[in-house]
Structure 1
Amino acid sequence: MNQQIIYFPKDGKPTVIANKWQVWDGERDEGGIPDLEHGFHKVLVPFHWWITHHKNADVLDKAGKGEIGAWFAADDDILKHADIIEDAKFLWPVVGAHFPIFRDGRSFSTAALLRNRFEWQGEVRAIGDVLIDQLLQGARVGFDAFELRPDQDLGIGLKQFDLYSVTTQNSWRDTRSTQAVA
């Protein structure tokens, strides 16, 4: 669990901010979410857990207060559960897409689907085995927050966004550059 993340809003500059969200795996839940009274006050719950608990009054209460978001596993079929996501879209301030291992790129597709098909306006966070090498691609497809793997340097991560001044593909952030490069 990182104390800081890289936050890169669509129309802003990348910066390092405090991480206020606990990513919870849903295991050993003993019937409920982690205690939000001590430590972190906001939690990202696994989407598979949300599916079975989203109608519980205490879960809806905490979600309504902006204390619960959800994260999607790389193999979650979000199109299959579009109705649940549409209903929760206005409750979740943050969603995460989990990279189980850096070379598994399925979560890039999750971010793109959330932005393009679901018209997700809130934060989409990359979580799990996230390396600085993935930041530019992630920012292009729809991620605006990155919880890097603990051995990754946040300062070097920030510098990744300054590597290129011209974009050759359209992205969630903007359209490709139309100016010739000298």
Structure 2
Amino acid sequence: MTASISSQFNPNIIHFPKDGEPFLAANEWQVWNGEQDEGGIPDLEHGAHKVLVPFHWWITHHKNADIIERANKGEIGVWFAADEDILKHADLIEAGKKVWPIVAAHFPIFRDGRSFSTAALLRDRLDWQGEIRAIGDVLIDQLLQGARVGFDSFELRPDQNLELGLNQFNLFTVTTQNSWRGKRSLLNAENA
């Protein structure tokens, strides 16, 4: 599994609830790569109090008492690497629904679209109802596609313009394909 993740942090995210309008929100979650601190999660007492840990790290540490305690407090979510086989771990993800307030899918580079499939699988096959965040090398060009497959929050790469990102969701008034957000637009008889 690829555990490498950028240490860049965007203090704001774009949140786009399924039945709502997109808006900017403070980013409360730090993304941890799992390779620091000799296996222990970051100190949640100081600074950010919530952490996204790599799913492969969760697999081997989720039974530890301190991890269970923090997860039950809603302080721990997981992120999936682009090459993660999430269907192989459906039972663990099912159990995670009870403790993870958020999951994320990592884009190691913007042209690697495997994390779109991760979001779609989480929504369609694993019935994930909570927040799914796009993290990593996320550009404004990916927002519409991400929103269609199941992402409802986006931590854009720090050099991306958040206001411009918000405007991406208003580019089109008609959709021609079904998506996680709803059915395609129906053209009325006048336009047919």
The one of 17, 37, 57 aligned to 2:25: 17
Name stretches of at least 5 consecutive residues in structure 1 with no aligned partner: none
Amino acid at match of 2:33: D
Question: Which runs of structure 2 are paired with 1:9-158 in the superposition (5 Å)?
Answer: 9-158=17-166
4+ aligned runs moved over 2 Å, structure 1:
179-182
Name stretches of at least 5 consecutive residues in structure 2 with no aligned partner: 1-8
Amino acid at match of 1:95: V
Instruction: State the Cα distance separating 1:31 from its structure 2 match.
Output: 3.2
Residue aligned with 1:30, SS: helix
Identity of aligned residues (%): 75
More displaced stretch, 91-100 vs 80-89: 80-89
The count of aligned residue pairs is 182
| TM-score normalised to structure 2 length | 0.93
| TM-score normalised to structure 1 length | 0.98
Instruction: State the Cα distance separating 1:29 from its structure 2 match.
Output: 3.0
How far apart are the structure 2 equivalents of 1:133 and 1:52?
Answer: 35
Instruction: State the Cα distance separating 1:157 from its structure 2 match.
Output: 0.2
Question: Which runs of structure 2 are paired with 1:163-182 in the superposition (5 Å)?
Answer: 163-180=171-188, 182=191
How far apart are the structure 2 equivalents of 1:28 and 1:4?
Answer: 24
Root-mean-square deviation (CA), in Å?
0.9
